[in-house]
Each structure stands twice: as C-alpha cells, then as structure tokens.
Amino acid sequence: MVPELVTAGVAACSVGIVYFVAAARVVKQYERGVVFRLGRLAGKAREPGFTMILPVAERMSKVNMQIVTLPIPAQEGITRDNVTVRVDAVVYFKVVDAAAALINVEDYKFAVSQMAQTSLRSIIGKSDLDDLLSNREKLNQGLELMIDSPAIGWGVQIDRVEIKDVSLPEAMKRSMARQAEADRDRRARIINADAELQASKKLAEAAQQMADTPAALQLRLLQTVTAVAAEKNSTLVLPFPVELLRFLEKAHEAPHEHPHEHPHQHPLEPPHDQQPPRELGE
C-alpha cells in the first residue's frame, strides 16, 4: 500500500512540475504578453514579470515595446521643380498597444516600412529642391504626420522621422556649384566696392583737412620719408611738391607776358636804348 502511495505521489508531483513548466511564463521589462484563449483575446496584455497561462487552452505572444529604428530605402522621385533626386530616411517608432499590433495588422514592421516609403515618395513630389536641401525640419514633420495617421490603428506610434541624405545628379551638382561660386564672387565684389567707397570718403576728409592746414602735408611727407628710411633701402624716392612745379610754370610764363623786353636783359639793367652817354675822352 505504501509503495503505491509513494508512486502516486511521485506521479502527481511530476504532473504538477510538468504543468508548472508548461504554464509558467516570464515577460521581460521591455515586453508585453498578449494571451489568446482558444483563439480569442483574453483580457489585457500581461505586464512584465512572472505569469501563468493554461498550457493547452492559452497561448501567449510577446511584443517588444522598445523604440525600433527602421531605415527607409532610397526613393527616387521628381520634385515639384522637375529635378530628379534620390532621398533616403529613417523612422523611429514604438508599439503602444501590444494587442492592436498583433490583431489589427499582420506584420506591423513591414506595414510601417511600406507606408514610410510611400509617404517619402509623396513628400518628394510635393516639395522643391531647395526645401529638400535646407528646410528638412518641416519635411520631417510632414512625413511623420503622414506615417503616423494610419499607424495609430496598428497600435504603433511614430516617434520621429529624419531625412538622411539627398542625392542629386552630377550635372545638377555642377550647376549648383557654379551658381554658388557666382554668388560668392558677387558678394566679394560688393564688399570690395563698399570698402573702396569708405576709403575714398576717408581720403576726401583727409585731403580737406590737409588743405585747411598746409603744414599737415609737410608733416605727412616727413613721416613717409622716415618710414621709407627705416627699411634700410639703398634708394629713396622723394615726392616732388606740386606747388613748386606750379611756381616754376608761372616763372616760365612771365617773360612771354612782356614781349618788348630783351630776353637777355637783367631786370635791374636799363634798356639798351637808354644807355648813359660816353665821355669824349674814352
């Protein structure tokens, strides 16, 4: 009798252990467990930790609740200003409703990927090339809204969408490079012209100041000579005063204004026709 009881007890313990092993489940911190009882959803998703299910009647599926990084393959399209480009992006999303992610869509990752590709091609066709290159933040928000609208019914929330790269044809790259170079050259010319204008104004003010004070010109000349001499040059170039040239020009024009005067006559000598009479004894 005792051996039969021992055998029955061992069998019962074995059955209990097998049942416990078959029914025990562990849900990790970043997961949620969705339980189906005879094919139907059984209550809410199980929280992280240890849980039990009916080994035969129930089946539990675990859903990852972490943020998923999904790269979008490069999509080729034509922008609104008729430029062919290739754009690739990346989508960050996470599951917020584990039951909806399993029931409402067959494969939520594949569904999000296809929706992201379709939305990206739509954004390319509605945008200009300048927007794709410089106004990406606005395009990212529009792309996120387009993907997030149908994803809400799948139990998925789009965290953010980023456009990674915009590939342009080589001819367009060369054209844009020439345009940028021309624009930089135009700005350089404008800056140079503005500098020349400011310099001319300052020089005009300096000339006016020197005209009011003639000694300032002489002081400036001495400063220039001193600066040149400090370089230990073998040749020293001195500017010739313009006033001296004008004085010499006036001195040269003075004899032509009195044509009756003898050209070789000294100014202090009397005229030849008014020479004093000689004495008879000479």
**pLDDT (tens digit per residue) in 101-115:** 989 888 899 999 999
Q: For residue 235, what is the enclosing H or E element?
A: none
- pTM beyond cutoff 0.85: no
Per DSSP, the three-state class of 29 is coil
Average pLDDT rounded to a whole number, residues 129-146: 85
Judged against a pLDDT cut of 90, whether residue 272 lies above it is answered with: no
Judged against a pLDDT cut of 70, whether residue 269 lies above it is answered with: no
Q: How many domains does the structure of the chain reveal?
A: 3
Judged against a pLDDT cut of 60, whether residue 259 lies above it is answered with: no
* 220-256 pLDDT tens trace: 777 777 777 776 666 666 666 666 677 677 777 766 5
Burial, 143: exposed, middle or buried (Cβ in 10 Å; 0-12, 13-18, 19+)? buried
Residue 109 lies in a domain: yes
**Residues 59, 73 within the same domain:** no
Judged against a pLDDT cut of 70, whether residue 263 lies above it is answered with: no
Residue 258 lies in a domain: no
Residue 141 lies in a domain: yes
Q: Which of 201-210, 233-242, 256-265 has the lowest mean pLDDT?
A: 256-265
CB 92 within 8 A of CB 116: no
Judged against a pLDDT cut of 80, whether residue 218 lies above it is answered with: no
Domain boundary among 204, 223, 242: 223
Residue 263 lies in a domain: no
| CB hemisphere CA count around 265 (13 angstroms) | 16
Judged against a pLDDT cut of 60, whether residue 257 lies above it is answered with: no
Give the confidence band of 56 by pLDDT, cuts at 50, 70, 90.
confident
**Residues 157, 177 within the same domain:** no
Across the chain, mean pLDDT equals 81
Cα 26 to chain centroid distance, Å, stands at: 49
Judged against a pLDDT cut of 90, whether residue 143 lies above it is answered with: no
The boundaries of the domain holding residue 208 are 169-223
Q: What's residue 219's pLDDT?
A: 78
Residue 247 lies in a domain: no
Average pLDDT rounded to a whole number, residues 72-95: 89
Residue 268 lies in a domain: no
**Residues 162, 73 within the same domain:** yes
**Residues 102, 173 within the same domain:** no
Q: What's residue 258's pLDDT?
A: 54
**Residues 22, 89 within the same domain:** no
Question: Considering Cα of 75, then 171, then 125, then 91, what sign does the dihedral take?
Answer: positive
How far is CA 145 from each of CA 95, 123, 271, rounded to the nearest angstrom? 17, 11, 113
